[in-house]
Structure formats: C-alpha cells, structure tokens
Amino acid sequence: MLNIKINLKEVKQMNDNKGQNTTINWYPGHMAKAKRIMKEKMSVIDVVYEVIDARMPYSSKIQDIESIIGNKPKLLIMTKMDLCDKKETERWIRYYEQLGYQVMGVDLEHQQSTTGIVKKTEAMMQDKMDDMIARGMKSRRIRVLVVGIPNVGKSTLINRLVGKKVANVGNRPGVTKSLDWIRINQRLELLDSPGVLWPKFDDQTIALNLASLTAIKEEVLPIYDVVCYILNMLYTYYPQELESRYGITTIDEEDMVNTLDIIGKRRGCMIQGGEIDYDRVMNLILNDMKSGLIKGITFDRIEELV
Ligand code: GDP
C-alpha cells in the first residue's frame, strides 16, 4: 500500500516539476467534419440555441461558434441552474447580456415547462417572420438548431421542448445527416438532433473545469490533478461543501495526499490492512461532482477569466 502513496507523491512531484501546467492538446479528429456538416445546415436554420452549463458559463462555451453559425440569431441557454452558484452565474448572465446576447437560465431537472424559451424565440424572430410575409412569402415555422459541447443538456432540452423523448439523454450523437424537423408548436420546429461540438482548449483552467464538471472525459487529464483542483476550488470558494460532504475545514495544499488520507478514512475508502484506497477516494470525489451531489457551485470565476 505504501507504494500507492509513493506513486501518488511521484505524480504530484512530476506535475509540480512541469510548472503546474499539464500540457493539453486535445481535440477529437472528427471535429472538422462535424463543423463542416453543421455549417452546411445553417442555411435552413433561423435560430441557434447555444447550450452551456451554468456552473461553467465560460469553459463550456464554444469560443469560435460564430465561425460555424455566422451571424444567425442565437439564444444562449444556461442549463443546470439548480446546481450552480446563483450569485456567480448571475454575474455571467449580465456579462453575456452586456455583450449583446439573449440569455436564459434553466433548470431542466425540475422544470418541465419551456414556455419562456419558446416565447423568447418567437419575440426574437417576430420581425423576420413579419418581413417574410410582407414580401409575399409563405408563412412557415421558425427553425431551431440546438448546439453545444457534450453533457451540457442538449438532449434533455430537446426532449423538454418537444414534450416527449426524441433525443437520447447522455448519448453522443453527431449531427444527423438527414434533416428531420420536429414540431414544437404552431410557430416553431426543431432539427431533431443537436449539433455536438467539442471545446477546443489550450487553457489549463478551462480543461480542469471541463474535467471536473463532466464535459470531457477525465482521462484527458490525470485524475489526481482534477481531484486536487476540485478540492482547491471547494476550499477557496465553497468551504461549507467541503465540510458538509467530507467533514474537513481545511486542505493540505502542500501535499494533497494528506487530505485524500483524511477524506478516505472518513468515507471508508480503505483496502485490507486499513490503508487508504486512493483510486476510490479520487473517484468518489469526482463522482460527487459529476452526479450533481455537490450543488451551489460555479467554477468559472468572472474576475479571473475576463
Ligand atoms: P447532452 O450531451 O448535451 O445532450 O446532455 P444530456 O441532455 O445528455 O444531459 C447530460 C446530463 O445532465 C444528464 O444526466 C441530464 O439529466 C443532466 N442535466 C441536463 N440538464 C440539467 C439541469 O438543468 N439540471 C440538472 N441537475 N441536470 C441536468
């Protein structure tokens, strides 16, 4: 068992030696194709719903989305409002609104109704639709495409909008090849499958936020780094969560293995002989984040990123 501890310390040392920066150069190869397909579809789309996670309104946003959707009207939809730190997230909402975005925060877990989104979309498109009719064109439904990175809630949103299950929650579909429209109401229809885009990041903080809050698979970064980051963030911004979940009021920033020892003991992550099972402790912490057990947190800090 001692070996595991030594190994963990070695990993930590290696990372320290790299100057705290794990080099990240990760971008799925098929993204160029996915982007091209999405660009082709834009000609038939009226409005884009860009879905982001309220706990990381910066890290989960596709920075170069305009290169795909051009200047199409878009609605920025922040999901998981039930899990975020409302005060911090509100600051992000104001920030994006000041940049000219139309923004809506939603809790898709508890909130069934999407009337607010539908009404906002109709209002956004009213002039365009009136103009079409004035020019003698046939009236038609407003066409919507949902886009975003994996796990932000695109499929859940589609299912809520349509009022039944049409998109697979938790699935990772690409953009469908055929154009299948689903009716939302008399005035709106939706492309049946979301546009999945992957975040392109070379920034350490963005990568750690995405790994902590599930948008990218944790294998992209060493789990030890991700867990240390989570504990640091909780300690810095949400110490009450650290206390209520793990029974600790401080962390050992010099050697996080000591903190994992305490949490492991408290939470019974032991192997035979009473030693700590570090894999279990680290997975426990990661799963607490992933499954939304730790609530009231926003990891993107506006003062640090903008
Ligand atoms: P997609 O990959 O973007 O299509 O994301 P999904 O719709 O599959 O959602 C990913 C996970 O987030 C699922 O477990 C959803 O139940 C969950 N989820 C989506 N929206 C919300 C939300 O507003 N609140 C909470 N608590 N969970 C959500």
- Ligand 1 pocket test, pick from 52, 110, 169, 288 with the greatest ligand atom count within 8 Å of Cβ, gives 169
- Ligand 1 pocket test, pick from 85, 107, 156 with the greatest ligand atom count within 8 Å of Cβ, gives 156
Q: Residue 172 CA: which ligand 1 atom is closest? A: 2
Q: Residue 150 CA: which ligand 1 atom is closest? A: 2
pLDDT 10s digits, 259-288: 999 999 999 999 988 899 999 999 999 999
> Which pLDDT value is given to residue 244?
94
Q: Residue 169 CA: which ligand 1 atom is closest? A: 8
> Which pLDDT value is given to residue 265?
94
> Which pLDDT value is given to residue 88?
97
> Which pLDDT value is given to residue 252?
94
> Which pLDDT value is given to residue 239?
97
pTM: 0.88
CB 258 within 8 A of CB 276: no
| Average pLDDT over all residues of the chain | 85
> Which pLDDT value is given to residue 143?
95
pLDDT 10s digits, 14-72: 444 444 444 555 566 677 777 888 888 899 999 999 999 999 999 999 988 999 999 99
> Which pLDDT value is given to residue 285?
95
Ligand 1 centre to CA of 109 (Å) is 8
Q: Which residue minimizes the CA distance to atom 19 of ligand 1?
A: 153
Q: How would DSSP label each residue in 72-114?
A: --EEEEEE-TTTS-HHHHHHHHHHHHHTT-EEEE--TTT----
Ligand 1 centre to CA of 167 (Å) is 12
Q: Residue 149 CA: which ligand 1 atom is closest? A: 3
Q: Are strands 142-148 and 47-53 parallel, antiparallel or unpaired?
A: parallel
Distance of CA 139 to the CA centre of its chain: 36
Low-confidence ranges of the chain (pLDDT < 70): 1-29, 167-179, 215-219
Q: Cβ of 249: how many Cβ atoms within 10 Å? A: 10
Ligand 1 pocket: which residues have CB below 6 Å? Answer: 79-80, 82-83, 106-109, 148, 150-156, 169-170, 194, 292
> Which pLDDT value is given to residue 5?
43
- Angle 110-107-84 from CA coordinates, rounded to 5°: 120
CB 73 within 8 A of CB 124: yes
> Which pLDDT value is given to residue 178?
59
